[in-house]
Amino acid sequence: MKIAVVGSGYVGLVTGPCLAEKGNDVVCADVDASKIERLSKGHVPIYEPGLEEIVREQTSRGHLRFTTDVEGAIRDSEVTFITVGTPPKPGGGADLTYVENVADLFADVIASDGKVRVLVTKSTVPPGTTLSLRERIRKRADNDAFGIANNPEFLKEGAAVTDFRKPDRVVLGIDNLVVKRMLVDLYEPFVRSGGKIIVTDPTSSEFGKYASNVMLASRITLMNQLALVAGSVGADIDEVRDIVGSDKRIGPTFLYPGPGYGGSCFGKDVEALRYLAKQKGADLSILDAVDSFNNHHRLWPVRKLEQQLGTDMSPRKIAVWGAAFKPKTDDVRESPAIYVVEALLKNGALVNVYDPEKKTYEHLAAELNARPWIDGLKEKSAMGKWPTYHDKLLESVVSADALLILTDWDEFKSPDFQKMRSTMKIPLIIDARNLYRLDLMKKEGFRYISLGRKQVDAII
Ligand code: NAD
């Protein structure tokens, strides 16, 4: 099938190459010329395990190419996927400008040559969007000869290629039999060895994506709240997780406490659904609690550190492990690290950041630069306090007064504790991911504060 994927970000850059792997003829389009230039030379601008190999292979086989000519890409294709961003609008709700821009181009193309094509919204869009785009295109093109569908994406960054190749489910929101046949044929190779295709109407499909994301965000939030209570009543949240997760009705995944959800989707989708519910007069107040707790909770590591060292952290040296919001990605959008590093800098600390994926450093620096407080801080700070980004894990803890752990990269799981103990000024670890056994921390000589477990102190 000839396919255009419009928007070459985290979703488009996985969708296009993975569809190309099945023998489709795919063109990935984006308005960002520098991104397309890099992609055309085989350089993938995001880090996602396995992706660069697929891009290079499919490009060399001739199944995949990249272009800034969005209109041309749509013109040459039978199916166009929209994978552009749907960021939050300042007043609430999802900003559909980018999606509408692509839909308008699609309308112009079908108006100009009258060939039948299919448009698929893969970006996360509010319920009703796909059907209202159909009306928009009909009016603009003065033409009915096109199909439209919604096909929300459920990939997880860090495991996006695996998720796309072997999805739990593919959801197709369609109200037309011909379009249904085309898209079922396109996706069948992905579910041959498990997974299923769910065909429904476009609005249920769109709503299903939001419902899944807010369900996950709520589960993370509830687990984080339970962890705080577990800590205060003397229970151990890891034991509690085992008890809760062994119940088949609940299941064991997504039950790990942490420093709050981050990334570009959960916060934005919680916000968009809250807005939609309010507009409709429906009660989704549970999401108000999810959102406000998550905003508060991402500073849990800083609050714990302040209890240990006080709020004036000048000239303390604090190591932070994990810049992205989770392992195996370079995506720092809404990462708890942004807020943690910002708070540490405001407290006067010198901050050492380490993340195994070095592309995160550039992105974190850009996020910090964009924070409103940063100019004031620069002026106030004679030392020009900015984080120092490290190449090696243990370099980041040299002379450190504390280590904060924000993500669960494998590299963090068994570091050389003896070296750390001897090089840190204060052997204090605040671990928002509960990576280490309490008895081990005691033996290795640390004060160890984790989430929803007892604080342990070194055996002296
Ligand atoms: P992104 O910001 O990484 O990428 C969007 C891309 O679209 C950018 O490269 C931008 O230059 C391009 N673009 C914008 N307007 C364009 C236009 N008119 N023509 C061509 N290109 C254009 O976004 P993303 O993270 O890939 O997310 C895209 C959508 O998918 C969002 O709605 C998001 O909610 C949803 N989604 C994201 C994920 C995820 O893990 N990132 C998972 C599932 C769903």
| Cβ of 5 less than 6 Å from ligand 1 | no
Q: In what order do the strands lie in the sheet with 402-405?
A: 388-389, 350-354, 317-321, 402-405, 428-431, 447-450
CA of 13 to the centre of ligand 1 (A): 9
CA distance 223 to 268: 20
Q: Which two tokens stand for residue 200?
A: 């429904």
CA angle 34, 40, 43 (to 5 degrees): 80
CA distance 79 to 179: 10
| Cβ of 352 less than 6 Å from ligand 1 | no
What are φ and ψ of residue 275, in 5° steps? Answer: -60, -45
| Cβ of 81 less than 6 Å from ligand 1 | no
Specify which residues 79 forms β-bridges with.
3, 118
CA distance 132 to 135: 5
Residue 323: CB partners within 8 Å, gap ≥ 6?
332, 335, 337, 353, 354, 355, 357, 360, 361, 363, 364
pLDDT of residue 92: 83
CA of 195 to the centre of ligand 1 (A): 25
Residue 112: CB partners within 8 Å, gap ≥ 6?
none
pLDDT in tens, 134-154: 999 999 999 999 999 999 999
CB 352 within 8 A of CB 390: yes
Q: What residues act catalytically? A: 265
pLDDT of residue 139: 97
Q: What is the DSSP letter of 53?
A: H
Nearest to 150 by CA among 115, 123, 120: 120
Read off the pTM: 0.94
The C-alpha torsion from 439 through 444 and 446 to 448, rounded to 10°, is: -30
Which atom of ligand 1 lies nearest, measured to the CA of 12? 26
DSSP per position, 273-294: HHHHHHHHT---THHHHHHHHH
Interior/surface letters 366-389, b for 16+ CB within 10 angstroms, e for the rest = ebbeeeeebeebeeeeeeebbbeb
In residues, how long is the chain? Answer: 460
| Cβ of 306 less than 6 Å from ligand 1 | no
| Cβ of 220 less than 6 Å from ligand 1 | no
| Cα end-to-end distance, the chain, whole Å | 68
The C-alpha torsion from 276 through 278 and 283 to 289, rounded to 10°, is: 90
CA distance 395 to 263: 27
pLDDT in tens, 425-441: 999 999 999 999 999 99
DSSP per position, 344-383: HHHTT-EEEEE-SSTHHHHHHHHHHHHSTTHHHHHHH-TT
Residues of the chain with pLDDT under 70: 373-385, 459-460
pLDDT of residue 369: 85
Which atom of ligand 1 lies nearest, measured to the CA of 269? 34
| Cβ of 31 less than 6 Å from ligand 1 | yes
Q: In whole angstroms, what separates CA 227 from the centre of its chain?
A: 23
Which atom of ligand 1 lies nearest, measured to the CA of 86? 32
| Cβ of 6 less than 6 Å from ligand 1 | yes
CA of 123 to the centre of ligand 1 (A): 7
| Cβ of 27 less than 6 Å from ligand 1 | no
For ligand 1, mutation pick of 68, 77, 83 (most atoms within 8 Å of CB): 83
Q: In whole angstroms, what separates CA 97 from the centre of its chain?
A: 21
| Cβ of 30 less than 6 Å from ligand 1 | yes
For ligand 1, mutation pick of 5, 38, 77, 84 (most atoms within 8 Å of CB): 84
CA of 426 to the centre of ligand 1 (A): 43
CA angle 72, 73, 74 (to 5 degrees): 90
CA distance 391 to 312: 28
CA of 101 to the centre of ligand 1 (A): 13
Residue linked to tokens 């205060």:
232
CA-closest residue to ligand 1 atom 1: 9
Which atom of ligand 1 lies nearest, measured to the CA of 32? 11
pLDDT of residue 376: 62
Half-sphere exposure of 37 (CA within 13 A, CB side): 3
